Structure 1
Amino acid sequence: MRTENINFSYIKQIEILASKIPGVISLAQAIPSLDTPEIIKKKVIEIISQGKASRYSLSPGLPFLREVIEEKLAGKKMYYDFEKEIIITAGATEALMASLLAILDKGDEAIVFSPSYASYPEMIKVASGKPVLVNLQEENNWQIDLKELEEKISSKTKVILFCNPNNPTGTLFKKDELLKIGGLALKHNLFIISDEAYKEFIYNDEKYFSLAEVNELRKLVIRIFTFSKAYAMTGWRIGFLHSDEEVVKEIIKVHDTLITCAPVVSQYAALFGLELAQREIKEFKKIYRERKELICWQLDQLKDFFSYREPEAAYFIFAKLKNRDNSWQFCLDLLEKAKVALVPGIAFGPNGEGYARINFSASEENIIEAFKRIKTYFNYYEKNS
């Protein structure tokens, strides 16, 4: 079977195991405790009652949603034609998969960073490509080693794929660094897929920058956004991608084959989010900042067991495990004995081994209780093992 070399995500494995243990607190999968803004839900109910969500949309998505996205992008110096260069997708995952299936031929190489989002290498393999890893180092604040990146480019390289801000490290890749990646893409004629799921959650004064703002790169950059995280809409499965017309006309073939169109009810939810829920996004960011500080404080009480770098963005802390070499075994043990779910660092590539990802989009109550259990775990089980 073609799935023989495809690995099932460690993140999903942990969540499935956790679901079978009563009373587990999960700081694992990136599911926000916050709910979809009320205004979105209210307006969607009206749409459903009017019978407007019962039928397929056009394959690229509702025209008026794409037009609103075009306007929003233009306000951020990204100029794309809603009729020819924007596709509404079933979340970022479908956007990524459709893009990779469109651009990769069998044996093509796709460069990804390690640690980075767990599903990237498997998506590349599903598309018959070969993932090539470029290591990010904590000593370098998880920033990109441009020298190693260029060394990994070969005659078979087709695309550089990354998420910015980075999941799991919470790193924000800076404009100068990104422009150098853009320069490499131009030099070697490579696509860039920029997954920007967490761009709304930046906790320092850095101004967010996307390579989709660079006109010289528009034929190479595929930019992807999901409403899942920013709007607390993980269950709605809705996002979008945009690129140059010549690229999008190839991706739409795959998108149409995979899903026909994104769920229409979710397309309306995305529309109302863009038009009516900007205040809520700012409030979400404030809440996540407070929860980040809470987890940092909790980790500071456990310095014998964890070290960490405070994240600049997203809603994860990638904590180094002291005296632990096997992150998967640690997370299984913690789940069994403390009933707390974390994601093992190995999920994010070989360079994530020895770490655990802690999700601070969980509720404050659950964060506090989870760390009580983690402290008990270390105080008791470590001393008695």
Structure 2
Amino acid sequence: MYAAFTAFLDQGDEAIVFEPFFDQYISNIELPGGVVKSVPLTPPSNDGTDIVSSSEWKLDFEQLEKTITEKTKMIVLNTPHNPIGKVFSKEELLKIGELAVKHNIIILSDEVYDSLYYTDSFNRIATLTPELARLTLTVGSAGKTFSATGWRVGWVIGHPELLKHVTAAHTRIVFTVNSPLQQATADAFNQAQTNTYFSDNVESFKKKYAIFNSVWDELGLPYTVPEGGYFLLVNFNKVDFESVEKTVEFPEDIMNRPKDFKLAYWLIQEFGIVSIPTSEFYGKENEHMGENYLRFAVCKDDHLLEEAVEKLRGLKKYIKN
């Protein structure tokens, strides 16, 4: 992705991201001189009281078009989405694509969780129209696909006219790559075509979500049901935050951060459970939209998730009636 940004962003060029976003987008855009412009995905109004679907987090297409300027060079799309778990529908992708074609904007489609979706189908924006095939760079990851995140083996698929610039940038950023792991990735794909790896992996993650979500169901804490990926957003608005603040002394660098940072720190101290503050996936202007949520990862052994459920049951005494 950094090679793609470096290939097409000059000083002052703008790239649009959808909040919440994978935090590395920001540094990758800014290093070559790009400017980040953000458009939030809005949760449904009942997300603080009810279990909701990630499909209910909506993009405001009017706001998206208003954000586009003559300096806009790229739109960053992430589906399945980290951290929400949203799988963008064909209709949503076509609307994004219509704006990209209209303004001749490159789409960088981050699809690293493309083998982990729980919907009936998964749509790739590059396959929807010839115009979008010409404008889209699709990013994949062996680390996510084969549960080997430390490998850092990825790829970009796109029209040759786009790829030649990405390749030129990549050569100067990386110069050489880990060939044995590339070969291993190729072999893994060949084997996965002949066995049930992909479907087994999906079923495995469905089980992990069922284990982990059982505690939120018990506690009555609402969460967003993901359509893809392996993350979970839990809304902590029902937790008595005033009581939490009385139980722990926060370090100085946490004191001036949004509420979710304090909640995440408290969860570690009180229960030994690590989460990610969701406001970190927003820019400064909209970080308040994430401060009631914590992001959890379920890509753990089942017994660890079961241990986490036992520990998290201790939250019950902090739930507001």
| TM-score, L = length of structure 1 | 0.70
1:291 aligned onto 2:204:
no
Q: Match for residue 343 of structure 1? A: 276
5 Å-filtered alignment, 1:181-192, equals 181-192=96-107
Give the superposed CA RMSD.
Answer: 1.6
Q: Match for residue 246 of structure 2? A: none
Secondary structure of 1:301's aligned partner:
helix
1:361 aligned onto 2:278:
no
Secondary structure of 2:57's aligned partner:
coil
Q: Match for residue 131 of structure 2? A: 216
- 1:316 & 1:246 partners in 2: Cα distance? 35
1:123 aligned onto 2:28:
yes
- 1:296 & 1:340 partners in 2: Cα distance? 15
- 2:70 & 2:293 partners in 1: Cα distance? 33
1:370 aligned onto 2:305:
no
1:329 aligned onto 2:262:
yes
C-alpha distance after superposition, 1:61-87 (max 9, x if no partner): xxxxxxxxxxxxxxxxxxxxxxxxxxx
Q: How many residues align?
A: 283
Q: Match for residue 229 of structure 1? A: 144
Residues 202 and 312 of structure 1 are in contact (CA less than 8 Å); yes or no, is this contact kept in structure 2?
yes
1:352 to 271, 278, 290: 290
Secondary structure of 1:300's aligned partner:
helix
Secondary structure of 2:198's aligned partner:
helix
Secondary structure of 2:36's aligned partner:
strand
Residues 212 and 218 of structure 1 are in contact (CA less than 8 Å); yes or no, is this contact kept in structure 2?
yes
Secondary structure of 2:109's aligned partner:
strand
Residues 109 and 130 of structure 1 are in contact (CA less than 8 Å); yes or no, is this contact kept in structure 2?
yes
Aligned-residue offset at 1:145: 1.6
- 2:219 & 2:36 partners in 1: Cα distance? 36
Aligned-residue offset at 1:127: 2.2
Query: What amino acid maps onto 2:131 in structure 1?
Result: E
Query: What amino acid maps onto 1:339 in structure 2?
Result: G
1:173 aligned onto 2:111:
no
Q: Match for residue 189 of structure 2? A: 274
Q: Match for residue 175 of structure 2? A: 260
Aligned-residue offset at 1:314: 1.0
Secondary structure of 2:161's aligned partner:
helix
Query: What amino acid maps onto 1:249 in structure 2?
Result: K
5 Å-filtered alignment, 1:1-385, equals 96-139=1-44, 141-205=56-120, 207-213=121-127, 214-278=129-193, 279-303=196-220, 306-322=221-237, 323=239, 324=241, 326-349=259-282, 350=287, 351-376=289-314, 378-379=315-316, 382=318
C-alpha distance after superposition, 1:287-332 (max 9, x if no partner): 00111122222211121xx311211111111111115561111111
- 2:131 & 2:77 partners in 1: Cα distance? 19
Query: What amino acid maps onto 1:126 in structure 2?
Result: L
Residues 80 and 88 of structure 2 are in contact (CA less than 8 Å); yes or no, is this contact kept in structure 1?
yes
Q: Match for residue 252 of structure 2? A: none
Moved >3 Å (runs of 4+): none
Residues 231 and 281 of structure 1 are in contact (CA less than 8 Å); yes or no, is this contact kept in structure 2?
no
Query: What amino acid maps onto 1:121 in structure 2?
Result: I
Aligned-residue offset at 1:179: 0.9
Query: What amino acid maps onto 2:94 in structure 1?
Result: L
Listed as ranges, the gaps of 5+ residues in structure 2 are 45-54, 242-257
Higher relative contact order (CA 8 A, sep 6+): 1
- 2:296 & 2:15 partners in 1: Cα distance? 28
Aligned-residue offset at 1:379: 4.4
- 2:29 & 2:291 partners in 1: Cα distance? 21
Q: Match for residue 36 of structure 1? A: none
Secondary structure of 2:108's aligned partner:
strand
Listed as ranges, the gaps of 5+ residues in structure 1 are 1-95
Aligned-residue offset at 1:142: 1.4
Aligned-residue offset at 1:261: 3.2
Aligned-residue offset at 1:126: 1.6
Query: What amino acid maps onto 2:117 in structure 1?
Result: I
Residues 298 and 371 of structure 1 are in contact (CA less than 8 Å); yes or no, is this contact kept in structure 2?
yes
- 1:126 & 1:373 partners in 2: Cα distance? 41
- 1:221 & 1:286 partners in 2: Cα distance? 30
- 2:149 & 2:122 partners in 1: Cα distance? 23
Query: What amino acid maps onto 2:6 in structure 1?
Result: L
Identity in percent: 29
Query: What amino acid maps onto 1:216 in structure 2?
Result: E
- 1:228 & 1:135 partners in 2: Cα distance? 27
Residues 116 and 162 of structure 1 are in contact (CA less than 8 Å); yes or no, is this contact kept in structure 2?
no
C-alpha distance after superposition, 1:177-197 (max 9, x if no partner): 101111100111111000001
